[in-house]
Amino acid sequence: MTSHDHDHHHHDHDHSELSETQLRVRALETILTEKGYVDPAALDLLIETYETKVGPRNGARVVARAWSDPAFRARLLKDATQAIAELGYAGRQGEHLVAVENTPRLHNMVVCTLCSCYPWPVLGLPPVWYKSAPYRSKAVKDPRGVLADFGFELPAGTDIRVWDSTAEIRYLVLPMRPAGAEGWSEERLADLVTRDSMIGTGLPKQPHEVA
């Protein structure tokens, strides 16, 4: 795709449909392209990689498989790195993965208090808030307060465990499957999985939200 074609492709879209982050990315892309720092075709390939091959969609597929396949779930909880590799997801920032399972009595949440270690192969690039100092400090001191900041509360009897990612170990939360999704295909189940539910700062969607 030539530079002209690339610009035309972008201008065909209604910017009102783009998120603030997407608009910022487009603006940065335009500047870098105009200055000759990046090749638009190479940038398209990189973006496609992170959108389709590296990112929350991968993690959603992992969770959906665990929800629908008890044997895979057992392998995931025993050795997440190996189990996730079965689905073709591996690479940088994903060498040592640990899956932690939510239950009615235990909710897991992931943070990286020192920097922003994050399981790229299954969650993509970390969101800005994950890297922020307020989240990194409050997640450890007041996890229930963090969940309230994200808009939900857990029952008083549910314990919260915070896992601190490091350069050696990164965590993936296996959320509980929502009621009403029994018998769903993996593809449909994956639609319920949100990025935040795999970090522990959110919950999966309810079946009626994707029906």
Between vectors from CA 57 to CA 53 and to CA 62, what angle results, nearest 5°? Answer: 100
At 172, give phi and psi (nearest 5°). Answer: -130, 125
Cβ(205)–Cβ(191) below 8 Å: yes
Q: Is 116 in the active site? A: yes
For residue 112, say whether it is annotated as part of any ligand binding site: yes
Q: Is 3 in the active site? A: no
142: tokens are 């007041």
The set of long-range contacts for 205-208, using a CB threshold of 8 Å and a minimum separation of 24, is: 205/178, 206/178, 206/180, 207/178, 207/180, 207/181, 208/180
Residue of 3, 16, 68, 116 marked active site = 116
Residue of 3, 16, 19, 112 marked active site = 112
For residue 165, say whether it is annotated as part of any ligand binding site: no
Scan for tokens 């969101």, then name that residue.
127
For residue 3, say whether it is annotated as part of any ligand binding site: no
Residue of 115, 132, 137, 185 marked active site = 115
Active site residues: 112, 115-117
The binding site for Fe(3+) consists of 112, 115-117
The binding site consists of 112, 115-117
